[in-house]
Amino acid sequence: QQQVKQSPQSLIVQKGGISIINCAYENTAFDYFPWYQQFPGKGPALLIAIRPDVSEKKEGRFTISFNKSAKQFSLHIMDSQPGDSATYFCAAHSGSARQLTFGSGTQLTVLP
Amino acid sequence: NAGVTQTPKFRVLKTGQSMTLLCAQDMNHEYMYWYRQDPGMGLRLIHYSVGEGTTAKGEVPDGYNVSRLKKQNFLLGLESAAPSQTSVYFCASRSTRQGYGYTFGSGTRLTVV
């Protein structure tokens, strides 16, 4: 039972391009939507997060767009750099369950 | 400030052997979690703890046990390892006073042969 569906599984982008990763959820009780970045051999690290009462949040080159009615959210990486090459996970937090549910991950490769 | 430390980093087990993975955090976080990461499946929650002496089952708890005798430590045990438990295991912690941001350890790569 996958409560958070993430796509695409892999993404290749040229340097300077825009990377877009999409996620969809089913549980309307989710109250917090973070994105994590993971480099090989490392644990996931919090990149950016949004609450459902906000439609967009921007931090530097990273932006989350949130569509509550469609139960979808996405990560946009502007001016993608080779150093952004990593695996990205979306997640959703349930306050009542006190836990994060993760998407399946997207392996991003930014070509120089 | 070490954050979340996992030991060991790598381990190879034979089917049927037992082992314990240790997670230690020095941030005084109340909540601690054990996840497993498998290709194409993201991170799946095994067990979690909302405080010292308390544990609860996550999405994939079968074959694992946990204990949290001290606030800073969260142990994950495999009583009789199976090849299906070959995975990368991540521990995470978070504070109830600092939002929902999780801090992850660097992982333990376990191979069961």
pLDDT, residue B43, reads 93
Q: Tell me the two tokens of residue B21.
A: 């993975």
Q: What mean pLDDT is reported for chain B? A: 94
pLDDT, residue B96, reads 81
Rounded CA separation B27/B62 (Å): 29
Q: If pLDDT is split at 50, 70 and 90, which confidence band does A98 have?
A: confident
In 10 A of CB A59, how many CB atoms?
Answer: 10
pLDDT 10s digits, B52-80: 999 999 999 999 999 999 999 999 999 99
Q: If pLDDT is split at 50, 70 and 90, which confidence band does B97 have?
A: confident
pLDDT 10s digits, A2-56: 589 999 999 999 999 999 999 999 988 898 999 999 999 999 999 999 999 999 9
Q: Is A106 on the interface with B (CB under 8 A)?
A: no
Rounded CA separation B56/B54 (Å): 7
B40 Cα to chain A: minimum distance (Å)? 6
pLDDT, residue A69, reads 93
**Residue B22: pLDDT over 80:** yes
Q: Which residue has the tokens 């006073």?
A: B97
Q: Which residues 9-28 of B have a C-beta within 8 angstroms of A?
A: none
DSSP assignment of A21-61, as one string? EEEEE--TTEEEEEEEEE-TTS--EEEEEE-TT-SEEEETT
Short-list B64, B62, B84, CA closest to B75: B64
**Residue A1: pLDDT over 60:** no
CA distances from A19 to A9, A43, B32 (A): 13, 22, 32
In 10 A of CB A23, how many CB atoms?
Answer: 26
Give the list of residues 6+ apart from residue A8 with CB closer than 8 angstroms, or none. A21, A22, A106
Residue from B102, B103, B108, B109 to probe the interface with A (highest A Cβ count within 10 Å): B102
| Residue B6 half-sphere exposure toward CB, CA atoms < 13 A | 27
Rounded CA separation B46/B66 (Å): 9
pLDDT, residue B1, reads 61
- Identity at B107, one-letter amino acid code: G
Rounded CA separation A80/B88 (Å): 28
